[in-house]
Amino acid sequence: GESVGLHLPTLSVQEGDNSIINCAYSNSASDYFIWYKQESGKGPQFIIDIRSNMDKRQGQRVTVLLNKTVKHLSLQIAATQPGDSAVYFCAENINYGQNFVFGPGTRLSVLP
Amino acid sequence: EAQVTQNPRYLITVTGKKLTVTCSQNMNHEYMSWYRQDPGLGLRQIYYSMNVEVTDKGDVPEGYKVSRKEKRNFPLILESPSPNQTSLYFCASSPRQGNIQYFGAGTRLSVL
């Protein structure tokens, strides 16, 4: 696999438990946020997004929460499965600008 | 199948030997971008393109060139690679800037 995650914080959870991955974003003007999942040897894959006019958005087994007051984003994964093992990172954008700022990521390890 | 295709996936080269990493998307996306990913760091943008013949520098453009002669292709060129360009590279595309990006599988480059 790729060595991209050598120095990343790691979250270990038991299979079936819920996972919460956090992201502190940098710019209070950011109004669009995306969570990506990156499995070993693959490119980042879109999971869920949220705009700043929302506090919460739900997908299939995933929920993103946005707290603009403290510039914090979280990704909740329900009933974590072995296939959820990956690096997760957030990206922020301002006003449909061309540039996304990406966080360094968190490695999620699912224990059997 | 909608996808972003990068080639090669792995490349080992020597300092100063020009190389090109190709990127092609079949989704008719206007926006394309190149990133590098290094351990402990988020994705950093090298160059981007808003449309055919429209390219601009990202955050870390030094030592790289790009071209966008056709909508589907966005090659990354290293005229004289150096060891500090050893990294994992990703190409991405999206319908327009500020939208969800779709990533290729990555190119692992080692410059000796």
The per-residue pLDDT for range A85-106, each reduced to its tens digit, is 999 999 999 988 888 999 989 9
Beta-carbon separation of A44 and B40 below 8 A: no
The arithmetic mean of pLDDT across residues A2-26, rounded, is: 82
- CA B19, B21, B23: angle at the middle one, nearest 5? 160
Give residue ranges of B with CB < 8 Å to any A CB.
4, 31, 33, 35, 37-45, 48, 50, 56, 58-59, 88, 90, 92, 96-106, 108
Smallest Cβ–Cβ distance between A34 and the set B37, B90, B100 belongs to B100
Q: How far apart, in whole angstroms, are the C-alpha atoms of residue B61 and residue B73?
A: 19
Strands (E) across A2-111 are located at 10-14, 19-24, 32-38, 45-51, 56-58, 62-67, 72-77, 86-93, 101-102, 106-111
Tokens describing residue A77: 């994964």
Name which of A84-88, A98-102, B23-27, B105-109 the model is least confident about: A98-102
A83 burial type by CB count under 10 A (0-12 exposed, 13-18 middle, 19+ buried): exposed
Q: Which of B44, B45, B100, B109 would best serve as a mutation to test chain A binding (most A beta carbons within 10 A)?
A: B100
Question: Is the pLDDT reported for residue A5 higher than 50?
Answer: no
